[in-house]
Amino acid sequence: MNKTKILLIEDETDLGNVVRQYLEISDFEVDWVTNGRLAYNRLLVDQATYHIALIDVSMPEMDGFQLADKIVQLGLRLPFLFLTARNEKSDRLRGLKLGADDYICKPFDVDELVLRIRNIIRRNAGTPRAAAPVATIRREDVVFEKECFKLTIGGKKEILLTPREAELLDFLFRHEGRILKREDILCQLWGENDYFLGRSLDVFISRLRKHLSSSKAVSIDNVYGVGFVFNVRREQYHKP
């Protein structure tokens, strides 16, 4: 059975060595590079090799946020987790908006890191990393091409979603018109209901709402104190 393969991007030599060795002891296969540029070049050559990337935020040449943005632009279905010495709210929100699966601050417990990695891998189990045939969902003036993460509004506005946004939007389409509790979305979609994932959900809902704001028919509406409803207003859309 093939091991889970991790791309570790960390410029601190001592920390990188410790993390790599511990992950290998924990039965992972690890490729370690020391800056974002090297990681980006490796992903360009071998996109489908890795199951997860651990990305240090503060690095020379290309920082972790820039690397994560490029991963999203490439359309890679690669989960990633930020490792950082910075614990500022603005950094956490920026990481969430880029589609991070988790965010762990230094110094951290390596056992905790392993558990977080295993949780992320479990949540993403079965998600193909290589290219797959495009599956398309259409609702009135909205077209969602799931496998390439593309959302088109009114035949004109095209938006490239992050992998996490696409995953959430697919879930909403599959539960159209039903009241969805926040905790049910978190547990069914990502396997657990915790603070970090709750904040992630709020960010992704906000971004999807903004994307869909130009649609005449599709919206994500709040149900106060409960959660959300993904609505398609067909009769209203077809009125002259």
| Res. 132: pLDDT tops 70 | no
CATH class of 136-237: mainly alpha
* pLDDT tens, residue by residue, 150-169: 899 988 878 888 878 888 89
| Res. 102: pLDDT tops 80 | yes
| Res. 130: pLDDT tops 50 | no
Count of C-beta atoms within a 10 Å radius of residue 240: 2
What's the CATH number for 5-123? Answer: 3.40.50.2300
Count of C-beta atoms within a 10 Å radius of residue 217: 19
Higher-confidence residue of 4 and 2: namely: 4
State phi, psi for 220 to the nearest 5 degrees.
-110, 115
Question: Which two structure tokens, joined as six digits, stand for 6?
Answer: 């991790």
Q: Give 31's pLDDT tier (boundaries 50, 70, 90).
A: very high
Q: Give 210's pLDDT tier (boundaries 50, 70, 90).
A: very high
Neighbour-count burial for 125-158, b at 16+ CB within 10 Å, e otherwise: eeeeeeeeeeeeeebbbbbbbbeebbbbbeeeee
Q: Give 235's pLDDT tier (boundaries 50, 70, 90).
A: low
- What mean pLDDT do residues 50-69 have? 89
Within the chain, all domains assigned CATH 1.10.10.10 are found at: 136-237
State phi, psi for 150 to the nearest 5 degrees.
-105, 130
Within the chain, all domains assigned CATH 3.40.50.2300 are found at: 5-123
Three state DSSP letters for the chain: CCCCEEEEECCCHHHHHHHHHHHHHCCCEEEEECCHHHHHHHHHHCCCCCCEEEEECCCCCCCHHHHHHHHHHCCCCCCEEEEECCCCHHHHHHHHHCCCCEEEECCCCHHHHHHHHHHHHHHCCCCCCCCCCCCEEEECCEEEEHHHCEEEECCCEEEECCHHHHHHHHHHHHCCCCEEEHHHHHHHHHCCCCHHHHHHHHHHHHHHHHHHCCCCCEEEEEECCCEEEEEECHHHHCCC
